[in-house]
Amino acid sequence: MRWLIKDARLLDPDHGVDRVADLLIEKGKIAKIGMGLSVEGDHEVVEAAGMVLSPSFIDIHVHLREPGREYAETIESGVRAAAAGGFSAVACMPNTDPPLDNHAMVHYVIDQALKYGPVEVMPIGCITRGRAGERLAEFGEMVDAGAVGVSDDGDPVSDSSLMRRALEYAQQFDIPIFTHPEDRTLSRNGVMNEGVVSTRLGLKGIPKQAEEIGIARDIELTALTSGRLHVLHVSSAGGVELVRRAKERGLNVTAETAPHYLALTDESLAGYDTNRKMNPPLRTSVDREALRRGVAEGVLDVIATDHAPHPVHEKEAEFDSAPFGVLGLETALGVLITHCVRPGHLTLETVIERLTAGPSRVLGRELAGIREGQKASLTLFAPDESWVVDPGRLHSISRNTAFGQERLFGVVKALFLGEEMIPSEQGSSSQDRPATMVP
């Protein structure tokens, strides 16, 4: 199949591409880029005026729940959600049941994913066996099987000595340690950010220092070991500053935040909405401002969704007992455009960079990008079209989006991956003008 995408804004900040042009995909590769391209023979034309064509998005932080909690999400539903959100690759966290702490489990996830199409699933293995925080898992075997990193995400590695060994041992395999930074003795029993809002709501707070102490410790251990650290889900202004200083010291540290932290604050918990309960929790507007600046300045390398499905029957509960976590894959682009790009906090170029080249760097991969001769791995979206998030229509098995019923700008139209084109029905339910795709 040949695809001729006409008049799209080609946006690949990593390779300095930002212009309106036509792009031809042939035999799974970007065959040609130019103005007024026309081709002979069998091909399909995509009229993409007003749309953006960027490298496909990569999410290095998702929870796919398989094996063990298939009632919340499966690898199959997870990759469909990813494609609908414009993501061609997702790194899945190992807090499944049983956890991904050995090569057989890593193989299993990769093999499963291959059945469900071209979206790549990149397993992250456990740091410790059984995620018990006691003994190192076999990094080498897991990397050989295809793991792209290790993490005990969901829990911190509380034992500093063990974390030190992990940062040392991982160097042999050239993988990052994905750290979930949290001082559990400080966050214990907390369910939201600690501050005036938690006091008003009568909920137990989690001080931002619980995260910052975790980040500070792991940065110092990275200095001690010359290791490679990726800080997951930075949610606080202090966290951004710690990462900034670590980078200034020349340490091998990268960091991410998630769309919900860039969009919302703890004020939005006034109605005890459990679909806005996650860990780390939504913080204050000061933190949100610092996170936006951290993304703009590149202190935060990556925007990752921390896609964390939970079934309705678990989220439909009093705030204290509902599990932490929110969906992210299908709303990421819309949330970022609506809450960050349109109000002028971030440029679209920055957002795209943090969804594409940023995560590639963390994984030590080169981004194919928008260049002739490269394999086609592209996301087409309409930044000025809008849709209303209907939780019932998401591809995820779960419904726990923090943005239900919200009108989001930024509609994903399709993913082009090699020989395949995966259309996204995002926004097709709303009253807006229909997709302008042909055929």
Partner 1 sequence: MKLARKHLLGMEGVSRTEIETLLNCAETFKEILDRKIPKVPSLRGLTAVNLFFEPSTRTRVSFELAEKRLSADSVSISASTSSSEKGESLIDTIHNVEAMKVDFLIVRHSAAGAPHFLASRCDVSVINAGDGCHEHPTQALLDLFTIRQHFPTLEGLKVAILGDIAHSRVARSNIWALRTMGAQVTLCAPRTLLPPGIEDLGAKIHPRLDDLIDEMDIIMVLRIQKERQGESFLPSSREYARHFSLTRSRADRMKTNSFIMHPGPINRGIEMAPEVADGPRSVILDQVTNGVAVRMAVLYLLAGGETDHAMAN
Three-class SS state of 248: helix
Residue whose CB is less far from partner 1, 66 or 212: 212
Residue 317 touches partner 1, criterion: CB under 8 A: yes
Q: Which of 195, 239, 280, 369 binds partner 1 (CB under 8 A)?
A: 195
Sign, CA torsion 357/56/93/279: positive
367 backbone dihedrals φ, ψ, rounded to 5°? -80, 130
Q: Which of 316, 372, 384, 390 binds partner 1 (CB under 8 A)?
A: 316
Q: Which of 194, 306, 353, 385 binds partner 1 (CB under 8 A)?
A: 194
Residue 324 touches partner 1, criterion: CB under 8 A: no
Residue whose CB is less far from partner 1, 151 or 198: 198
- Of 306, 320, 384, 432, the active-site residue reads 306
Under 8 Å between Cβ of 402 and 275: yes
Token pair, residue 218, equals 């792991």
Cα(427)–Cα(88) distance, integer angstroms: 19
**265-304: contacts with partner 1 (CB under 8 A):** 271-272
Under 8 Å between Cβ of 125 and 139: yes
Cα(128)–Cα(219) distance, integer angstroms: 19
Minimum CB separation of residue 388 from Zn ion in Å reads 29
Q: Which of 161, 185, 321, 405 binds partner 1 (CB under 8 A)?
A: 321
Q: Which of 16, 115, 313, 344 binds partner 1 (CB under 8 A)?
A: 313
Cα(301)–Cα(307) distance, integer angstroms: 18
Residue whose CB is less far from Zn ion, 9 or 180: 180
Q: Which of 6, 180, 276, 307 binds Zn ion (CB under 5 A)?
A: 180
Residue whose CB is less far from Zn ion, 180 or 260: 180
Token pair, residue 97, equals 């049941």
Residue 210 touches partner 1, criterion: CB under 8 A: no
Residue 153 touches Zn ion, criterion: CB under 5 A: yes
Beta strands in 244-305 (DSSP E): 252-257, 302-303
Q: What is the per-residue DSSP string for 91-137?
A: EEPS-SSS-S-SHHHHHHHHHHHHTT-S-EEEE-B-SBGGG-SSSB-
Q: Can 306 be counted among the known catalytic residues?
A: yes
Q: Which residues contact 365 (CB under 8 A, 6 or more apart)?
A: none
Minimum CB separation of residue 270 from partner 1 in Å reads 9
Q: Which residues bind partner 1 (CB under 8 A)?
A: 194-205, 271-272, 313, 316-321
* Active-site annotation, residues: 306
